[in-house]
Amino acid sequence: MTGSNEGGDDASVTIGLLKRKMDEFAKARDWEKFHSPRNLLLAMVGEVGELSEIFQWKGEVPRGIPDWKEEEKTHLGEELSDVLLYLVRLSDVCGVDLGKAALRKLDLNALKYPLPKGKGGDADADAGGSNNGEAE
């Protein structure tokens, strides 16, 4: 693919950049009226369905998906991106700072699932702290 969006990597592509680009995309097409929270949620769920179809009937797939063809990996990247872009846009139109919310949620997760004994977490000082990552 060629165009103005080449060359990004995980470090340079921020949530803020994706948010701005989705906003420009919608404004340029006068599509803001369609980008309501409910429409965006449904669009995102639709894309999650398309993402699921890629894995449907394949059985368990090893990490790194070594046996997939290049075009299958490209398709996977497209569907993952659709989900991400709608999620970023949904957060934006709901006035949620997604980066901030995600960092806060990571902190909450770490409190809920303390490190097991011997891994350097507070659980080392707390004999009953480890649950091996199982939800309670």
Ligand X SMILES: Nc1ccn([C@H]2C[C@H](O)[C@@H](COP(=O)(O)OP(=O)(O)OP(=O)(O)O)O2)c(=O)n1
Contact 43, 86 (CB under 8 A): yes
DSSP string, 69-109: -HHHHHHHHHHHHHHHHHHHHHHHHTT--HHHHHHHHHHHH
Query: What contacts 111, CB < 8 A, 6 or more positions away?
Result: none
Total residues contacting ligand X (rule CB under 6 A)?
Answer: 6
Please identify which residue in 5, 20, 24, 31 interacts with ligand X, judged by CB under 6 A: 31
Least Cβ distance, residue 8 to ligand X (angstroms): 15
Residue 97 in the binding site for ligand X (CB under 6 A)? no
d(CA 22, CA 31): 11
Least Cβ distance, residue 96 to ligand X (angstroms): 18
Residue 27 in the binding site for ligand X (CB under 6 A)? no
Please identify which residue in 24, 32, 50, 107 interacts with ligand X, judged by CB under 6 A: 50
- Where does this chain bind ligand X (CB under 6 A)? 25, 31, 34, 50, 82, 85
